[in-house]
Amino acid sequence: MALAVGCRARPGKARDNKTGSWRVFKPSFDHEKCTQCGTCKTICPEGCISEDTDGKFIPDYQYCKGCGLCAEECPGEAITMKQEEK
């Protein structure tokens, strides 16, 4: 008899949980100021920042918690946190 041990979940199933709803402040990216250093993408604890097809860095607002780390660490001051209207 096959015995199922413990609980199982599909890899990356956490994506079902849209943590963007936690956000109070929203990072807004100024692509003119961005030097494309990639710091924001490396240090976002959510791993939700990526480059679009034009090489612009953008967060996935479905998951961005608005922690502000990217804005704080961006060497070009290209990211500003703004209170989100909901």
Q: Which residues bind ligand SF4 (CB under 6 A)?
A: 27, 29, 34-40, 44, 46, 48-49, 57, 59, 64-70, 74, 76, 78-79
Give the whole-angstrom CA distance, residue 21 versus residue 64.
8
Residue placing its CB nearer to ligand SF4 in the complex, 10 or 68: 68
Cβ-based neighbour number of residue 79 at 10 Å: 23
User: From the CB of 78, what's the least distance to other proteins, in Å?
Assistant: 15
Sole binder of other proteins in the list 37, 68, 76, 80 (CB under 8 A):
68
Give the whole-angstrom CA distance, residue 64 versus residue 29.
13
